[in-house]
Chain A
Amino acid sequence: MIWASFAFMTGAVVLAVLWPLGRARASSVRAPDVAFYHSQLEEIQRDLSLGLLTPEDAEAAKTEAGRRLLQNADGGETKSGSRTAVRLAAVFALVVIPAFSLSLYSRIGSPDAPDLPLQARAAEREGNAELMSAIGKIEQHLAANPDDGRGWEIIGPVYMKLGRYEEAARAFANASRVLGDSAERLVAQGESLVYAAQERVTPEAAELFEKALELREGNPVAYFYLALAREQMGDRDGALDAFSNLARGTPPDAPWQAAVRARIVALGGRIEAIESVQNAIPSEQQAMIRAMVDQLAGKLEQNGQDAEGWARLIRSYTVLRAQDLAKAALGKARAALAKDADGLKRINTLADELGLKG
């Protein structure tokens, strides 16, 4: 049905364009000029009678207007078009208009989506009313018992779904306050803040994601938003690296892969490089990761003043279950960062977290 009306519209447009073709059109371009000249003479007469012009000036103005008319006399006549040009234009219109519109619309349109006015959604609205009253009850309950962490945790995702992102963030923050930090809660709070800020990763949200990563190494959602934060701050290379790592390091059928790949493409990265890694057999993948870790270790050997780098290296060794190497790296890091109190603290906290001794 929808395509029929599209066809009808397209036909109407093509007809409107073709309509003037084939109707003989020979007219003088000059008629309007002559008419203008006469109206100008009238006007000069009027200005003269109003005293805006002296009689001599009016005479001069008339001569001038006449001279202008003659000057433009090279305007010439239009002719009825050559048959080839007209035929070409007709074919052009006949082909370009339907081909262009249908191909563009099929790329960006949603022909299968009917109108969905609110009136036609009575059942949903009723469900919504029930949901709203349920939310109201939970809200009342939470107002009276603000320390019910489970309650906050239940209502947070509901707010998220309704698009009430600020309230969702507040609910998750309350849940964390009562139940203590968990990677899931921190990520959920951070994500609400990102949505509330029109999908910008605010510093506040970034801090939550970092905290979540400290609690649980490699939380993909937190990792994704931190990469997005880099992109939004203009660090394209850093963002591309991070997105690529995420795409490589997680299963190819993970739900976030599509979003991650979209970012990689948007940043000008190549998907094939990632796919070659993902298709590789696990041991090969391990080897590739190993090679990357070794590269990082080499870098740190040359320049050890990089607490962040050391932390990453130690983590990577832990993930690869190379406890000995992790411990050795920890020792090296402590030696290299001896003068960097902050860095040392960071490394020691990490060591505690990962349960490394030595």
Chain B
Amino acid sequence: MAAVKSHEEHAVIVETGHYALVLALALAIVQGLAPLVGAIRRDGELMAMAQPAAVMQFLLVAFSFGALTYSYVTSDFSVTNVFENSHSLKPLIYKISGVWGNHEGSMLLWVLILAAFGATVALFSRGMPDDLRALVLAVQSWIAAAFLLFVLLTSNPFARLDPAPIDGRDLNPLLQDPGLAIHPPLLYIGYVGFSITFSFALAALISGRIDAAWARYIRPWTLGAWVFLTLGIAMGSYWAYYTLGWGGFWFWDPVENASLLPWLAGTALLHSAAVMEKRDALKIWTIFLAILAFSLSLLGTFLVRSGVLTSVHSFASDPQRGIFILAILVFFIGGSLALFAFRASALKPGGIFAPVSREGALVLNNLLLTTSCATVFIGTLYPLALEAVTGEKISVGAPFFNLTFGPLFIPILLAMPIGQMLAWKRGDLLGAAQRLVLATALGVVGTLVLYALRGGDVVPAVLAGLAIYLTIGSFVEIAGRLSGAPSASAVLARALGLPRSAWGAAFAHAGVGLTLFGLAATGWGVERIVSVKPGEAVSAGPYEVVIMSIAPREGPNYNELVAHTQIREGGRVIAEIDPSRRSFTTRTMVRTEAGIVTLGLGQVYMNIADVRVDGAIDLRLYWKPYVALIWIGALVMALGGLLSMSDRRLRIGIAKRAAAHVQTAAAE
């Protein structure tokens, strides 16, 4: 890969990147076959081919991705993809994020992350049985081969233009945004992270060997994928919130649902894998969930990337890409489920357990999560199926999901703290309930106080009370362990001594509580649509909003009209915001930039809906109390996942160290 730039005037980085991608495909084919044969024949040499191949594959795809990025940064418009999605005047950060701000580049990013996961398994899996690792890397390589083929044949980012245009067509202004610069990578790391658990599941089915150790190997991957998916969904929702200008953050849009589906399945997987690891039970179910989580990730990719969502008809008239992804979908989902049906019976069944126990509670969690996942699935795909069959366009919106998803999720929320209180093997339901008395009481008091203070509908207050119970209840188990310590330093010592996974569970569950509180609080928000001129003031909840000036301003590749605004409380200026309306010259598109200021946990949100001839502007103005908790909750959930990942037993090389420990113990 060196010696590329020897002639400065004839540099061929782009084409070298193109070739690297082709080479990665060839390598993926070999990596998909040799280690598989090796694992079946128990041939150590063939199995060992997987590791260097996986690392090499990552290097090739990374080089290729780097070459595409290079062509974006240098505005090389001889690359069709750069011409279509970039512009010489675009700020550097959006030149870079433009790489994945389009179909071809985002699929290349998908493959890059896939290869990165494969290389990580190859490099950091010393403590894993050789045959399991070889099989995992082989399956991972099948996925890579399918997607590389897709990229090269239908969505090649390295297609060239001759003669090269002198400037590009710019990136869709909606995507020229820091939020969208990081949202796709986060989401893709989440999606693609489940490819590893999928590969582990298939490896288990092929080898017929599955045990509690298997559940431990997949745990860091599941947790990692889950953390990134959580962050990716939160980021996407915040982006929609501040970009689309309606103050909404979740629209039950198919694209959003496509990311929620693997999240729900992944959450279920996380919990069932915990049961499997501790109790050697739920094996077959865990395998199924691992297949399901990645299948839903693939489905999400298909929905977003095939164009089937924009219109079933546009999909049908230009079906090449869609058909290709559909074929990938059918091959991997169908193939894995067939393998599952064929081999699941060969797996040794696990233990049985009592219904009232930690594992029993986790089974309940699994049932409710998969059912709610099915609900979202139906709500998302039914309209598509109907349109394809009858041509009738219906939209399944928020009311459907609120009525079906809501009732399924409330029992999960209620049961979450109780499940945490139950012991493994045999739980004491009454005892658990008793220890939650305080949290329950605070929840009820919270409901009454908030209802008395805020008035209005009763639902927000009840949900907020549930959120309080959930957030506090998440920490009751840990509080119980710390209480009774004689001194503050003893409390600290005990806190540090607790397994990180216990802290992780507490934080992740509390994060759900915080998000729920933020969601409940939307019921207390204020929304106004007003027409204002400079110097005029309007009220938004407890604050006064004063328009100081409305003036044009010039950006690098846009012109904008800015409404400079002060937020005052009791006559005192506490914040200033600049909502604006941007016109992008190249794409002749307009995008509004909401002005948002966070005050406490609430936000004042302002968007210029329209500009009038007489110089007045129509403002969409919101006061949203506690709204920041929605995303803070997601961050806390992710933090919980990370804490759990850092648990001692999951650290890389643990098996090796444990073995060494045993040897020294034996020597003594």
Contact = CB atoms under 8 A, between A and B. Distances in A.
Contacts of A93: 30, 34, 49
Interface in B38-97: 38, 41-49, 51-53, 55-56, 60, 71, 74-78, 88
Contacts of B30: 17, 92-93, 96-97
A308 interface: no
B662 A38 contact: yes
Interface string A51-89: 111100100110011001001100111111110011001
Nearest to A128: B166
A306 interface: no
A290 interface: no
A214 interface: no
Contact of A25 (B45, B88, B152, B348): B45
Interface stretch (A108-116, A139-147, A253-261, A323-331): A108-116
Interface in A11-48: 12-13, 16-17, 19-23, 25-27, 29-36, 38-40, 42-43, 46-47
B43 A78 contact: yes
State the main secondary structure of chain A at its contact with B.
Answer: helix
B129 A86 contact: no
B18 interface: yes
A14 to B, nearest CB: 9
A281 interface: no
A20 B45 contact: yes
A75 B214 CA distance: 14
A201 to B, nearest CB: 11
A68 B43 contact: no
State the main secondary structure of chain B at its contact with A.
Answer: helix
B424 A53 contact: yes
A114 B11 contact: yes
Interface stretch (B183-191, B549-557, B651-659): B651-659
Nearest to B45: A81
B280 interface: yes
Given A5-B3, A42-B658, A93-B34, A116 B211 contact: no
A273 interface: no
B612 interface: no
Contacts of A234: 313, 316-317
A9 B23 contact: yes
A163 interface: yes
A43 B71 CA distance: 52
A-side interface size class: 35 or more
Contact of A20 (B25, B49, B127): B49
A78 B49 contact: no
A220 B160 CA distance: 28
A29 B131 contact: yes
Contacts of B661: 38
A68 B88 contact: no
A247 B537 CA distance: 68
Given A39-B655, A71-B348, A110 B46 contact: no
B45 A57 contact: no
Interface in B1-43: 1-4, 6-7, 9-16, 18-20, 22-23, 25-27, 29-31, 33-34, 37-38, 41-43
A19 B54 CA distance: 13
Contacts, number: 266
Nearest to A72: B211
Contact of B44 (A4, A6, A25): A25
B351 A31 contact: no
Given A16-B56, A79-B42, A128 B167 contact: yes
A339 interface: no
Nearest to B317: A232
A114 B130 contact: no
A233 B311 CA distance: 12
Given A13-B27, A97-B23, A8 B78 contact: no
A118 B655 contact: no
Contact of B15 (A64, A68, A109): A109
A121 interface: yes
Contacts of B18: 105, 108-110
A275 to B, nearest CB: 26
A114 B12 contact: yes
Interface in A101-143: 101, 104-105, 108-111, 113-121, 124-125, 128
A8 B3 CA distance: 9
Nearest to B656: A35
B213 interface: yes
A341 interface: no
Interface string B204-230: 000001011100100000000000000
Interface string A267-281: 000000000000000
Contact of A32 (B29, B47, B213): B213
Contacts of A4: 3
Nearest to A33: B213
Nearest to B30: A93
Contacts of B498: 50
A233 B43 contact: no
B74 A23 contact: no
Contacts of B271: none
Contact of B131 (A22, A78, A82): A78
Contacts of B38: 81
Contacts of A82: 41, 43
B15 A1 contact: no
A10 interface: yes
A231 interface: yes
A98 B22 CA distance: 10
Interface string A155-172: 000000011001000000
A103 to B, nearest CB: 9
Interface in B629-668: 649, 654-656, 658-659, 661-662
B481 interface: yes
Contact of B74 (A97, A110, A118, A162): A118
B448 to A, nearest CB: 35
Given A68-B212, A234-B313, A76 B23 contact: no
Contacts of A72: 209, 211
A231 B317 contact: yes
A100 B248 CA distance: 50
Interface string B161-182: 0101111010000000000000
Nearest to B75: A118
B333 interface: no
A144 to B, nearest CB: 21
Given A13-B60, A100-B29, A166 B156 contact: no
A354 B29 CA distance: 64
A355 B409 CA distance: 75
Contacts of A101: 19, 22-23, 25-26
A61 B424 CA distance: 10
Contacts of A53: 423-425
Nearest to B54: A16
A255 to B, nearest CB: 17
Most buried by A among B9, B29, B51, B424: B424
Given A5-B16, A27-B130, A117-B74, 20 more contacts: A2-B16, A13-B56, A29-B129, A32-B129, A34-B659, A35-B655, A39-B655, A54-B423, A57-B425, A61-B424, A64-B351, A86-B43, A97-B26, A104-B25, A113-B15, A114-B11, A114-B15, A115-B11, A115-B14, A118-B88
Interface of B: 1-4, 6-7, 9-16, 18-20, 22-23, 25-27, 29-31, 33-34, 37-38, 41-49, 51-53, 55-56, 60, 71, 74-78, 88, 127-131, 152-153, 156, 158, 160, 162, 164-167, 169, 209, 211-213, 216, 280, 313-314, 316-318, 348, 351, 423-426, 481, 498-499, 588, 649, 654-656, 658-659, 661-662
27 contacts: A1-B10, A2-B16, A5-B12, A10-B23, A12-B1, A17-B52, A21-B49, A22-B45, A32-B129, A35-B654, A36-B212, A36-B216, A38-B659, A39-B658, A51-B481, A78-B42, A78-B130, A89-B37, A93-B34, A100-B29, A109-B15, A110-B160, A113-B14, A114-B15, A115-B14, A118-B75, A118-B76
